[in-house]
Amino acid sequence: MFAIRNLAVKEKNMPDGFAAQAKNLIETGRIANPTASMVRKREQIGLSKGQSTATEDVQKILKKTGFSKIIVSK
């Protein structure tokens, strides 16, 4: 099953939701951005706002694996 899914993605045949999440991952280092309520909750318990500090690292990994090339060209 995974092989079929992976083949479909290589052929750029994927759900729009998956493509949107993947593009967000490439651009921000996250699949989904935190909502305002999530940010408030993090601040209430003494955590940072949740800004991604690993964006460059994620982008390097996605580039080396070829993932970013597949998604960007969809």
Is residue 52 within 8 Å of 28, Cβ to Cβ?
yes
pLDDT at 71 over 80: no
Cα 52 to chain center, whole Å? Answer: 11
Q: For position 74, what pLDDT does the model report?
A: 53
Which are the contacts of 46, defined by CB distance < 8 A and separation ≥ 6? none
Mean pLDDT, range 20-35, rounded to an integer: 86
Q: What is the pLDDT of residues 39-69, one digit of tens each?
A: 899 899 998 877 767 788 888 998 898 887 7
Give domain limits for the chain: 2-72
Of 4, 26, 2, residue with least CA distance to 74: 26
* pTM: predicted TM-score of the whole model, two decimal places: 0.64
Per the document, the length of the chain is: 74
Mean pLDDT, range 17-36, rounded to an integer: 86
